[in-house]
């Protein structure tokens, strides 16, 4: 990748995101997703990036449909922050969030997940519900268990997909010789422009 070629930089940024969605060892596999709550306060959380699609400029995450963040995110602008320490590249991504619960593709993503991953959605209380002490929230029978398809089936209504339709990417390369920064926006056809770091 040339450090001066904007199209190559954008392509490389997307390649890092694609790898982040496919490789659980990638530093971009768990970016921070930030939003604003109903009180106007910023909220950020680490989420697992399941897929990045440069063709549609979209990111996909999975979440519990009962989580308070679903209402904060659905239909709202969000920011996604990812950093690759090996490449010294920070990506600040702006986008519009959409939460899906009952679409056919949501069922497809549910089925693609392992039953062990789907087990998380068996939690008896919604995320953020106060508990009397430390607990996973899972029913006792599901603790440490690789459940069957039948056992996780009741959890499907708790599963949702968060899509972020990317509208802009702010790329920052940190280097001792001098940082470089560029911005890319869907509004300008992803042409990109250099900005001061």
pLDDT at 179 over 90: yes
Residue-wise pLDDT tens digits, 66-114: 999 998 999 999 999 999 999 999 999 999 999 999 888 999 999 999 9
* Highest mean pLDDT (candidates 102-111, 138-147, 162-171): 162-171
Q: Residue 4 — pLDDT band, cuts 50, 70, 90?
A: confident
Q: What is the mean pLDDT of the chain?
A: 94
Paired tokens of 170: 């702010």
pLDDT at 1 over 60: no
Cα distances (angstroms) measured from residue 65 to each of 10, 34, 171: 32, 17, 31
Q: Up-side HSE of residue 71: CA atoms within 13 Å toward CB?
A: 7
Topology (CATH level 3) of domain 6-105+161-195: Pnp Oxidase; Chain A (2.30.110)
Q: Residue 2 — pLDDT band, cuts 50, 70, 90?
A: very low
What does the pLDDT average to over 38-47? 94
pLDDT at 54 over 80: yes
Domain ranges of the chain: 6-105+161-195
Cα distances (angstroms) measured from residue 7 to each of 31, 62, 131, 169, 192: 23, 30, 50, 12, 8
Cα distances (angstroms) measured from residue 174 to each of 6, 16, 33, 116, 177: 16, 16, 22, 38, 9
pLDDT at 3 over 70: no
Per the CB < 8 A criterion, the answer to whether 92 and 79 are in contact is yes
Task: Quickly count: other Cβ atoms within 10 Å of residue 14's Cβ.
Answer: 20
Residue-wise pLDDT tens digits, 6-38: 999 999 999 999 999 999 999 999 999 999 998
């Amino acid at each position: 990748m040339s450090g001066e070629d904007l199209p190559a930089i954008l392509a490389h940024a997307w390649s890092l995101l694609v790898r982040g969605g496919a490789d659980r060892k990638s530093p971009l596999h768990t970016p921070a997703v930030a939003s604003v709550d109903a009180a106007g306060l910023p909220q950020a959380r680490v989420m697992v990036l399941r897929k990045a699609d440069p063709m549609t400029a979209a990111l996909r995450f999975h979440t519990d449909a009962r989580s308070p963040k679903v209402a904060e995110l659905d239909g709202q602008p969000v920011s996604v922050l990812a950093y690759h320490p090996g490449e010294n590249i920070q990506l600040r991504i702006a986008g519009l969030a959409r939460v899906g619960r009952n679409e056919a593709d949501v069922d497809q993503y549910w089925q693609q997940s392992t039953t062990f991953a789907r087990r998380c959605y068996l939690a008896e209380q919604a995320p953020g519900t106060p508990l009397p002490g430390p607990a996973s929230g899972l029913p006792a029978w599901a603790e440490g268990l690789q459940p069957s398809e039948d056992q996780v089936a009741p959890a499907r209504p708790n599963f949702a997909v968060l899509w972020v339709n990317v509208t802009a990417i702010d790329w920052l390369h940190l280097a001792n010789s001098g940082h470089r920064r560029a911005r890319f926006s869907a509004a300008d056809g992803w042409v990109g422009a250099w900005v001061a770091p």
